[in-house]
Amino acid sequence: MKPKYRRVLLKMSGEILGGSEGRVIDSRVLRDIASEIKEVREAGVDIGIVVGGGNIARGREFRELGVEKVTADHMGMLGTVINALALQDALEKMGVFTRVQTAIRMEAVAEPFIRRRATHHLEKGYVVIFGAGTGSPYFTTDTAAALRAMEIEAEVLLKGTNVDGVYDSDPRTNASALRYDALTYTEVLERRLWVMDATAISLCMDNGMPIMVFNVLKKGNLLKAALGETLGTLVVEDRP
């Protein structure tokens, strides 16, 4: 099947890597996701990745302990770098050329984020993982994902979750929850649906970046999404 997209940006939460048992990093999940990413790359689709750090450090939890917000947010950013390095290691063990770029400079472990260098890596067939969010406090990794998607000229932002789309309520606690096949950015914001944070949604809306929300843990889903098959919920300017 010929890919619909030339380049995609995958956003995953850190909790995805923790697996269902709530580990810091579940080695099986890490390998499975790396294998899926490898399939996307082998299909000829450029892929950049932003992974959260909630399995390691959540700024909100540190603030509850009395840590100042800016410091707590920086601690959370460092958690994302740990996940990025773990994913890089898993990919390279599978023979996938990978680069990690961070928004906070730490040349001993990763490249600093430079847009032109990132796009050059992607053009060469490398997988590029972006760590440390935007590098600034008060911004989530959702916003970082939206920003990086635009900067690398991705054609779609793939939001990989552990559920199969966007619902009107939590499907894990409400058996009658309704799943949406498609939504507009405005509907997401007005209904306060948990897709991505409002800043990320607004950024995508202003720049026409479609968002596909799907279950990244189901085998084969990431490749299907990258090839252009509609899965889960599609968030766009106007419904199809």
Q: What is the pTM of this model?
A: 0.94
* Domains along the chain with CATH numbers: 7-236 (3.40.1160.10)
Establish how many alpha carbons lie within 13 A of residue 123's alpha carbon, considering only the half-sphere containing its beta carbon.
8
Per-residue confidence at 240, pLDDT binned at 50, 70, 90?
A: low
154-203 pLDDT tens trace: 999 999 999 999 998 888 888 889 999 999 999 999 999 988 999 999 99
8 A C-beta contact, residue 228 and residue 212: no
pLDDT category, 59, cuts 50, 70, 90? low
pLDDT at 107: 94
| Cα gap 194→170, rounded to integer Å | 10
Whether the per-residue pLDDT at 128 is higher than 90: the answer is: yes
Rounded CA gap, 42 and 150, in Å? Answer: 23
Beta-bridge partner residues of 8: 47, 156
Give the residue from 38, 133, 126, 43 showing the smallest Cα distance to 81.
133
